[in-house]
Chains A and B, each alone.
Chain A
């Protein structure tokens, strides 16, 4: 069965510091990968998605970036965090099957920028 791992689960970072969140998927190959952010009381905002190694599509211009160095690894980065980057970050994956194409989420990473 497929699983998704996301870390770290919680982090507190000062303004201006760098960020690296990692996500790996197991049990499938060539998944579509996603980074979402969920602000308090708001819906999920799509930040980046990737349909293959090295292929990154950005949905929201900001100081975040994403990379996909391996088929099942997705990394969210920032060189200098802003207060507004605080939130709940979710990695997700999907893959086309005979029964459809559903997106599945990791447990999330809480980021507080202070």
Chain B
């Protein structure tokens, strides 16, 4: 069965304290791994797409990496405005399967 598991469920960081979020997946015929940011009461906002093991993408303080079994979202020197829920998803044919997310809180 296709499955996406994110950890930790929640994470509290001090401003400037770097950390990583994990997304492990089991899916046959992976056709992309996606990261999204979701603010409370809003739709998810697209961050990155990764397609093959070894691929990396960066955007400001965020860097996403991909292996054959998992993906990491590295947050370097986070700021309070990075507080949000971060969602991971995998695509299999037409379907996008989401994890339950990591709720990140960055304290000033």
A interface residue numbers (CB < 8 A to B): 32, 34, 36, 41-44, 46, 49, 51, 57, 59, 88, 90, 92, 94, 100-108, 110
Contact = CB atoms under 8 A, between A and B. Distances in A.
Cβ-closest 4 pairs across A and B: A105-B43, A43-B100, A44-B98, A43-B98
A103 B43 contact: no
B41 A108 contact: yes
22 contacts: A43-B99, A44-B89, A49-B95, A59-B95, A88-B41, A90-B43, A90-B44, A92-B43, A94-B96, A102-B34, A103-B34, A103-B46, A103-B89, A104-B46, A105-B36, A105-B43, A105-B44, A105-B45, A106-B43, A107-B43, A108-B42, A110-B41
Interface string B22-40: 0000000001101010000
Nearest to A36: B98
B73 interface: no
B64 to A, nearest CB: 13
Interface in B12-64: 31-32, 34, 36, 41-46, 49, 51
A100 B20 CA distance: 25
Contacts of A90: 43-44
Nearest to A105: B43
A100 B94 contact: no
Given A100-B32, A103-B34, A46 B42 contact: no
Interface of B: 4, 31-32, 34, 36, 41-46, 49, 51, 87, 89, 91, 94-101
Contacts, number: 56
Contacts of A41: 100
Contact of A43 (B31, B51, B87): B87
A107 B94 contact: no
A92 B17 CA distance: 34
B49 A102 contact: yes
Contact of A102 (B4, B46, B94): B46
A113 B95 CA distance: 28
